[in-house]
Amino acid sequence: MPNIIYESVRGITPISIDDVMLRNRKIFLVGDVSETSCNELIKELLYLESEDNTQPITLFINSPGGSVRDGLGVYDTIRLLKSPVTAVVTGIAASMGSIILLACDPKRRFMLPSASVMIHDASFGKMDVGGMKPHEIQHEVDMLNQTNERLISIIAERTGKSKDQVSEVTKHDAYFNADEAIEFGLASAVIGPEQLSNLI
């Protein structure tokens, strides 16, 4: 990871770019939504909240999604913060990445011009049902349906769509370019030079 070189009366000090960005209240979700990435995000969010809960935080997202449980932990944390959180989708906010995007205020969800968002129903992923009894499989299906209802409720609430409208769209992987995401209520604007300057 490249370092930024700071020169002071104490001499030259190399500081990682991540540390510099965190100091400036800029954090990143890059790659899978996982226990590790979400724990790091939550720690950073809570640290910045404790430092000054009146100042905005900018979250840059480029994620294919991943763990629903861990992603909902980030979603809930953002919703509980007093610090206003702005999201910027730099590549894709897919699956749980899109849910984390929706945690931010509707007017604070930006996308780069070529970015995209994808929403869909919850899925089992790579769960192996080999050796499971019918009632155990049914229990897993019931839990999956509960999770899906939770995600549909979030998307509906945060986009202004009805649950039926969302359910119809999320039956399949639904990809939105920046303009389509804005129209659906997933994002607020395509970021321009002025907004980018304000965020960095």
Of the residues 37, 98, 116, 120, only one is catalytic, namely 120
**Which residue in the list 67, 95, 98, 188 is annotated as catalytic?**
95
Q: What is the DSSP string of the chain?
A: --EEEEEETTEEEEEEHHHHHHHTTEEEEES-B-HHHHHHHHHHHHHHHHH-TTS-EEEEEEE--B-HHHHHHHHHHHHH-SS-EEEEEEEEEETHHHHHHHTS-GGGEEE-TT-EEEE-----TT---TT--HHHHHHHHHHHHHHHHHHHHHHHHHHT--HHHHHHHHTS-EEEEHHHHHHHTS-SEE--HHHHHHH-
- Whether 95 is catalytic is yes
- Our answer to whether residue 120 is catalytic in this structure is yes
Please identify every residue annotated as catalytic: 95, 120
